[in-house]
Amino acid sequence: MTGGRVAVAMSGGVDSSMVAAILKEQGFKVMGITMQLFAGSPAPERAQRVARKLGIPHSVVDFGELFSRKVVDYFCDEYHRGRTPNPCVICNRFIKFDALLEKAQEMDADFMATGHYARTKSSANGHRLLKGADPRKDQSYFLYVIGQSQLQRIMLPIGHMHKSEVKKKAVALGLPVDTSRGSQDICFIPSGDYRSFVSRHLPLQPGDIVDTGDEILGRHQGLACYTVGQRRGLGLSSGKRLYVVSLDADNNRVVVGPEDMLLSSRLLARQLHWISGEPPQDLSGITAKIRYKSPAVAASLCLENDGTRVCFDQPQRAITPGQSIVFYRGEEVLGGGVIETVELA
């Protein structure tokens, strides 16, 4: 619908800047909208500069309190419980594709567009979410929490493009391409030191580091300082390599063991969300990703009232409670959930 009004979620980075440029070139009435999420965020100023260059109106919306309550508090609480959270998924669920999408509608936008590397497709059975065309940048993993009502109102204009193509077009248009900044795993922790961040928000409780036979090997600084699969920074003197195999929040213990104990083929996932609004009737041919950078691997699902048990054809390494597991069939995202417990192989 060329000529419609589109609010582009702009961060000032190359991806969202290119989205705004592409949509304007296609004849849409484009306006930029940027979230102020935390003090010191450079996003509003960067986005305003891009908007001026493109000649489009731009607004900043303050979601600081909502972001702190929904994302930051969740992030710290999960680490405190001995789990490894996924703040990007929670931000997409409550902030970007809920509060921001609602704000875009209040601004009379027909659609909201983002710079995610994923694709949407409409069919007789509703709206589908697909992987991005660039396998190295595909971000569909983070979007499994959106549903039909959001999919009919969002646009993902660069989902069919490769990152190299996006950068090339940005240079040709004179848009900023900051190759030194790179993407941050956690936008609200620029230093990347999440342990110090969590310790400033919640008290850390030291406890025992034990092996799988319950023998005490040392002391830990607090469960938030550790994650499943970690080897460095344990402070243990041992003739063999030891890894964190689990975090025992009930007893405030870090459990370590040899690397082969990180392998598991079964898990329980809860807080399920399905893109179509309901679980797939056909559970064949499903693959699953246990973290963003992991490959999608063959998996069998056994649906239960409060979740699903997942069995992998091949054991997976360092499955981590608190992380998202996302289900695919081919290029299509079916849905996902949060890893609750892990059964060791």
- Alpha-carbon gap, residue 81 to 322, rounded angstroms: 9
pTM over 0.75: yes
Q: What φ, ψ does residue 265 adopt, rounded to 5°? A: -120, 0
CATH of the domain at 129: 3.40.50.620
The reply to whether 276 and 340 lie within a common domain is yes
Band of pLDDT at residue 125, cut at 50, 70 and 90 = confident
In a domain, 185, yes or no: no
Q: Domain range spanning residue 158? A: 5-173
The reply to whether 233 and 312 lie within a common domain is no
The reply to whether 29 and 121 lie within a common domain is yes
In a domain, 178, yes or no: no
CATH of the domain at 241: 2.30.30.280
The reply to whether 157 and 237 lie within a common domain is no
- Alpha-carbon gap, residue 267 to 275, rounded angstroms: 21
Residue 135 class from Cβ within 10 Å (0-12 exposed, 13-18 middle, 19+ buried)? exposed
Quick: pLDDT tens for 181-199: 445 568 999 888 998 999 9
Quick: pLDDT tens for 93-102: 999 999 999 9
Domain end (from 155, 173, 191): 173
For residue 303, the cross-strand partners are 308
Catalytic sites, residue numbers: 91, 187
The reply to whether 89 and 73 lie within a common domain is yes
Band of pLDDT at residue 1, cut at 50, 70 and 90 = low
* Percent above pLDDT 70 for the chain: 97
Total domains in the chain come to 3
In a domain, 60, yes or no: yes
Quick one: pLDDT at residue 345? Answer: 58
The reply to whether 339 and 245 lie within a common domain is no
The reply to whether 49 and 151 lie within a common domain is yes
pLDDT at 319 over 50: yes
In a domain, 122, yes or no: yes
Give, as one character, the DSSP assignment of residue 333.
E
The reply to whether 70 and 111 lie within a common domain is yes
Angle between helices 73-80 and 194-201 (to 10 degrees): 90
Band of pLDDT at residue 180, cut at 50, 70 and 90 = very low
Quick: pLDDT tens for 50-78: 999 999 999 999 999 999 999 999 999 99
Asked whether the CA dihedral 283, 284, 289, 290 is positive or negative, the reply is positive
In a domain, 195, yes or no: no
CATH of the domain at 301: 2.40.30.10
The chain-wide mean pLDDT, for the chain, equals 94
The reply to whether 231 and 112 lie within a common domain is no
The reply to whether 94 and 209 lie within a common domain is no
The reply to whether 66 and 115 lie within a common domain is yes
* Percent above pLDDT 90 for the chain: 86
Torsion angle defined by CA atoms of residues 64, 184, 150 and 15, in that order, rounded to the nearest 10 degrees: 110
Torsion angle defined by CA atoms of residues 261, 264, 269 and 273, in that order, rounded to the nearest 10 degrees: 120
The reply to whether 78 and 137 lie within a common domain is yes
